[in-house]
Amino acid sequence: MRQKYNIEPEPEHYACLVDVLGRAGRLEEAYCIIENDGSVLAWKTLLSACRNYENAKMAEKCASKVMQLDPTDHSSYVILSNLYSREGKWEEASKLRQKLVNVGGKKDLGSSWLM
């Protein structure tokens, strides 16, 4: 991109590439692209792909990176906790949910009206 079009890749470009690779199940390749300096968006994109392919080991790495880069983003806690629950890792899921509560995250309550 730099040489051919004289365009400096932005974080969104990398996130798109991670998304394409993630949808194809090529999680390791996507990880290698953002391993050293990925944006929060790219890490969250890979985390979602890990959820879709039920790859808890890589999801842990991604969630950890998201938590490090943006401690106010609670979605990584929820995604990883749900993945643990699906795998029957109830203790890990519970610990993660408690950690979420400790950092100030809470689940918004939903409501609906019938007329």
Q: Residue 109 falls within a domain, yes or no?
A: no
Q: Residue 113 falls within a domain, yes or no?
A: no
For the chain, give the mean pLDDT.
90
Write out the residue range of the structural domain in which residue 38 sits: 2-102
Q: Residue 110 falls within a domain, yes or no?
A: no
Q: Residue 88 falls within a domain, yes or no?
A: yes
Q: Residue 107 falls within a domain, yes or no?
A: no
Task: Please name the residues in contact with 85: beta carbons below 8 A apart, sequence gap of 6 or more.
Answer: 93
- The count of structural domains within the chain is 1
Q: Residue 24 falls within a domain, yes or no?
A: yes
Alpha helices (H) along the chain: 2-5, 11-23, 27-34, 40-52, 56-69, 75-86, 90-102
Least confident of 22-26, 39-43, 103-107: 103-107
> Residue 37 has what pLDDT?
85
CATH number at 85 reads 1.25.40.10
Average confidence (pLDDT) over 3-15? 89
Q: Residue 111 falls within a domain, yes or no?
A: no
For the stretch 34-70, pLDDT in tens is: 998 889 999 999 999 999 999 999 999 999 999 999 9
> Residue 111 has what pLDDT?
62
Closest to 94 measured CA to CA, from 84, 103, 102: 84
Q: The pTM is what?
A: 0.83
- Asked if pLDDT for residue 28 goes beyond 70, the answer is yes
